[in-house]
Chain A
Amino acid sequence: MTETRPRSRNSPYPLWFFIPAAIIYGVLFLLPTVSSLWFSLTRWDLTTAEFIGLENFQQFFSEPFLVKGLVNTLIYAVTTSGLKTVFGLLLAVLLTSNIFARGFLRTLVFFPVLVSTIGIGITFAVMMHPTKGIINVALETIGIPGPGWLTNPTLALFSVALVDVWKGVGLATLIFIAGLAAISPDYYEAARIDGATRLQQFFRITLPLVRPATVIVVTLSLIGGLRSFDLIWAMTRGGPGFSSDVIASVIYKQYQAGFYGLSTAGNVILFALIAVIILPFTLWFNRREVEE
């Protein structure tokens, strides 16, 4: 994942060549980023913006549920990212082995990735209904009283996380399949000749050599988990009460209430949070890769 950056002196292209790209980048990315930094310091009603310094940030951090939203965001990101990585790798190993109907099974795993998140959220919300949902009805027939998947405040966040894993594991599997395909079969052949068991092959060959794919999966799913919103909103709207609120849903609620400056401040905080977590993580992973 390392790249050598071309020095501008050595670049074969003249400077004006970059101008169109720079304009697009400036208008579509740089300008909104800078202006959102400005608006986060104002009391903003979309027509007038009054500068109030860091008051929005102060308000956001004194928000009784920000801390809870922050903790929930981290729990959610780590749970989904961890499970997606583990299940993704296991499924990838299964789906690269010589099993029956491999192509069909691969499609089956990838299918949920293609379906609309809101659609999945609504469907699962119906299936997880405490008395009429298919999950609890099925559990009841075998004599187990099902919990209130989305109405129990300690359970709601994890129920959503599990659905997120189900939906996202296909993408992780796909990346792992690509990573596994890149490992030369020679290693396995040599290992077999030395008498290595299947398990030894997995831990000594597959796991270390699939590291680039692992880094991609963990990074992508961690970022996705930190900023996830649509599934949570479709399934619980942050509820019951505030028990499954994450930063993104807290921000959305501020926006909905018409607190535009405050919600922009929330977005700046979310941006900073993702940068603070992801940046050292990727740096650390990349360095280790270079060392090996």
Chain B
Amino acid sequence: MTHRIKLVLAGASMLLALVAASPSHAEVTLSFLIDNSPDTVAAAEALVAAYQAKTPDVIIEIEQRPGGGEGDNIVKTRLATGEMPDVFLYNSGSLLQALKPAQTLVDLSGLSSQAKVDEGFKTVVRADDKLYGVPFGTAMAGGILYNRKIYHELGLSVPKTWAEFMANNEKVKAAGKVAVAQTYRDTWTSQLFVLADYYNLHAAVPNFAADYTANKAKYADTPAAMKGFERLKDVHDAGLMNEDFGAASYDDGLRMVATGEAAHYPMLTFAVGVLKQNYPENLGDVGFFAQPSDDAAINGLTVWMPPALYIPATSRHVEEAKKFVDFAGGVEGCKIMIDTNTVQGPSLVEGCDLPADVPPVVKDMTPYFEAKGKTTPALEFVSPVKGPSLEQITVEVGSGIRQPADAAKLYDDDVRKQAKQLGLPNW
């Protein structure tokens, strides 16, 4: 080979390398829609950074949307108009069913990561025997956050029955503190006494979810289902709540239970994220227990599944999106999320274990998960019907405006409306 040919070859290969490195090379940009809570953003950013380090030819752009009902609207509207990003984060369970996954989403049953996903989680992203999502984050539970310092000072122990809980409350009240924090400025927080009571309802009436979906059981006709509303009234009538309960916000509630202004705050354990961010020095003071029933033998946890990642059928990069979602739903993705994020409960991916130093709220959940039959998914994960006005109704009961029996009837009407709109049979 002559020197000239060598030079030409070298030049050509350099050119080739340049062409290969230039952005015109088959590079794909995926859009990724998430909600704007700080926890979600941190986890999503870490996931994307790790994935891009492995797969530099795929660029992922994160887009944020508000949470709550407003975010629901955005997701539904964008899905309906075909404007949905390639990957999006949304609730599992009844809210997912409202998106009509069989028509609007890509089937993810074939992903290799699905093999290690918890069977309980799969039931809440399944439609027509196909899986449409992978878990984003850990499971969580609904119950009662309590201040461990107050419990220690007053010599209280974690209640196993509702009567014990109310006795604890009286002692806290006598000590001049708020026994139960309630925060009706953020109306959704008022539902916990009803929603977190589902384990107890399920224990008393195992068929409730199926009968309720089939329009055979009603809240108003089921004494065990009425309990949740009665709990709210009990707490209100006993004068155990903070004086400004009607105007206090979710963050006020967390502050009260974290700093020891209040002994109890009925809440979902996802609050750990905000607690860690806003009250890091108090995180160790907050513990957690399941909502007690009348019977000490029945003491279990109502569990909420995390949201999931989905791919809309309208995505133009389904293959690339699938690879990213597979990564996020696998052990590696799960570990990244657990490392960056606050752990809210047990992991749903086999081989992705929780670190040893989880906050007490999460540690307190473990016994329920380790024992058999001590957890059940919340009603909204086992039945597609959930009335949209529950939060207003629970505010009314919790404020003493409406009686439990009347509230249960009203909620049954609300549920009927939703079931009709979903076009469910038998309604």
The interface of chain A, by Cβ under 8 A from chain B, is 43, 45-47, 50, 55, 59, 63-64, 125, 128-133, 148, 150-153, 237-243, 253, 255-259, 261-262
Let me know if B243 and A130 touch, CB within 8 A. yes
Let me know if B77 and A241 touch, CB within 8 A. no
Residues from chain B with Cβ under 8 Å of A150 in the complex: 246-247
**Shortest beta-carbon distance from B114 to chain A in Å:** 27
Give the bracket for the number of chain B residues in contact with chain A.
35 or more
Let me know if A240 and B69 touch, CB within 8 A. no
Interface residues of B in 410-427 (CB under 8 A from A): 410, 413, 417-418, 420-421, 423
Let me know if A239 and B247 touch, CB within 8 A. no
For the complex, what is the distance from the CA of A59 to the CA of B393, rounded to whole Å?
19
Let me know if A259 and B246 touch, CB within 8 A. no
For the complex, what is the distance from the CA of A151 to the CA of B420, rounded to whole Å?
33
For the complex, what is the distance from the CA of A59 to the CA of B184, rounded to whole Å?
28
For the complex, what is the distance from the CA of A130 to the CA of B243, rounded to whole Å?
8
Beyond A43-B423, A238-B392, A257-B388, 4 extra complex contacts between A and B, CB < 8 Å: A240-B401, A241-B392, A241-B401, A259-B388
**Shortest beta-carbon distance from A203 to chain B in Å:** 44
- Contacts A129-B247, A150-B247, A239-B187 given; indicate if A46 touches B392 (C-beta within 8 A): no
For the complex, what is the distance from the CA of A237 to the CA of B68, rounded to whole Å?
14
Can you list 19 A-B pairs with a CB-CB distance of less than 8 A? Answer: A47-B80, A47-B103, A129-B244, A130-B246, A131-B247, A148-B246, A151-B184, A239-B187, A240-B184, A240-B395, A241-B393, A241-B395, A241-B401, A242-B396, A243-B401, A253-B388, A255-B73, A258-B421, A259-B388
Interface of A is mostly: loop
Chain B: CB-nearest residue to A257: B388
> Which of A43, A125, A151: most chain B Cβ within 10 A?
A151
Let me know if A59 and B247 touch, CB within 8 A. no
For the complex, what is the distance from the CA of A239 to the CA of B245, rounded to whole Å?
13
Question: 1/0 contact trace for B63-85 toward A, CB 8 Å?
Answer: 00000011011001100110000
Residues from chain A with Cβ under 8 Å of B399 in the complex: 151, 153, 240-241
For the complex, what is the distance from the CA of A239 to the CA of B396, rounded to whole Å?
9
Let me know if A258 and B76 touch, CB within 8 A. yes
For the complex, what is the distance from the CA of A73 to the CA of B279, rounded to whole Å?
42
Question: 1/0 contact trace for B256-269 toward A, CB 8 Å?
Answer: 00000000000000
- Contacts A47-B80, A131-B243 given; indicate if A242 touches B392 (C-beta within 8 A): yes
> Which of A47, A241, A262: most chain B Cβ within 10 A?
A241
3 smallest A-B Cβ distances: which pairs? Answer: A151-B246, A46-B80, A241-B396
Chain B: CB-nearest residue to A152: B246
Residues from chain A with Cβ under 8 Å of B80 in the complex: 45-47
For the complex, what is the distance from the CA of A259 to the CA of B387, rounded to whole Å?
11
For the complex, what is the distance from the CA of A133 to the CA of B245, rounded to whole Å?
14
**Shortest beta-carbon distance from A135 to chain B in Å:** 12
Chain A: CB-nearest residue to B98: A258
